[in-house]
Amino acid sequence: MSATSKSIPLSLAHEQQGFRLLELPDELVDLLKKPNPPILQLKSAAPNPSQKTSTINGPPAVLCTPSQTYHVRQLQTSNSIHLTLPHPTTDKHAAPTTELLALATCSSTVELLPAPSAALPALCALLPIWSALLPSDAPLADDLRATLPDQAHVFARVPFSQGECLDAWRELGAFEWRGGVFRASMEDRVRLWGAVVDACVIEGFVLGEMFQVGELWALVEEVGVPRGMLEGLIGQLAPMGEEGMDEWGVVDERRAVRWVGAALLETLARDQRVDRMKFLEQWKEKLPEKWTKSVDIELLKDISTSPTPSTISFKDPNTPAAEAAEGKPGKRKWHERFAAMRKR
């Protein structure tokens, strides 16, 4: 400071207020500058009411746009930052002047980092599996009665954006039933899909064309699963942009063929090898006749392995090669690969 420059008095307020500086990524700034900016959410992992602690791994807090999640990370700074306001001096022996009053001191900043989508395993940790062995008129067990009541309560406890949660919801075949939220087992979904194909053959339904879900449900109701499971399955296999229809449905051939093959492989060859030709025959049997021409083992190359030239077995794409070679069971995450494929 030169001899001719003027100094500005600075004093600290007796009671300091807390604040943080939040550094926004460029894409988030652009989003907030739009004429109708979206509502942002601060979320953290929360346990199911039936659990004492959260089983969801992740950062303590995230910030979410409607479709993107950002990790919130606090960074310490070597230079304190003061939030100041002009304030009249209180010195009675000096001419009235204005000083700067520091109302708050910030010793750290907060930055946002794009988070990889992992909403699917987070939902898995919260939702119990519905079983067809549970009679529809049987009283719910205590652990099922304590489940979250609806989709909104589930999403509020998952530290990911609404869009990512909705994609994971569909991939899991999750549904609301009798005041609770559940996900369908792969075995139940394969069994239900088989009933859907049989009903289409008998009644002349064309899955690749628009149909009323209620009419299809009337044909497969005897399978013994909740209607929500059927709606979830149809929504999962719908063409991009048409997943949210309630009364009407349509099934995308490419997605259905891939999903049926992957689901069948997991249920039949999760812990053992099966004959390749017999597997292909069973795959085709689970599809409408016109779709069988699309069956190709290459569709499953990321989740399958060939122990011998004539056999095939299920391979978790996230299991290390050494662990898979020893035959150790790994976490079943092929659903995430299928979700990524749907977004291409």
pLDDT of residue 332: 43
Polymer length in residues for the chain? 344
Structure tokens at 159: 């530290």
Is the distance from CB of 175 to CB of 231 less than 8 angstroms? Answer: yes
CA torsion sign for 258, 261, 267, 273 is negative
Give the model's pLDDT for residue 41: 93
Cα dihedral angle (173, 174, 177, 182), rounded to 10 degrees?
A: 120
Distance CA 136, CA 230 (A): 16
Crossing angle of helices 213-220 and 227-236, rounded to 10° = 120
pLDDT the model gives residue 245: 63
CA atoms in the 13 A half-sphere facing the CB of 236: 29
Say how far apart CA 25 and CA 32 lie, in whole Å. 11
Residue 147 Rama label (left phi>0; alpha psi -120 to 50; beta): beta
DSSP class of 18: P
Could you list the mean pLDDT of each consecutive 10-residue stretch along the chain, which spans 344 residues? 65 80 91 93 73 57 94 84 80 70 84 90 88 56 62 92 93 87 90 92 86 91 90 89 74 94 91 92 94 95 92 76 41 47 50
CA nearest to 303, candidates 335, 256, 344, 342: 335
CA geometry: angle 324, 182, 42, nearest 5 deg: 90
Choose among 253, 304, 261: nearest CA to 284: 261
Q: What is residue 137's predicted lDDT score, i.e. its pLDDT?
A: 52
- Name the residue ranges covered by the structural domains of the chain: 10-114, 182-342
According to DSSP, the residues that pair with 69 across neighbouring strands are 64
58: number of CA atoms within 13 Å, CB side? Answer: 30
Q: What does pTM read for this prediction?
A: 0.74
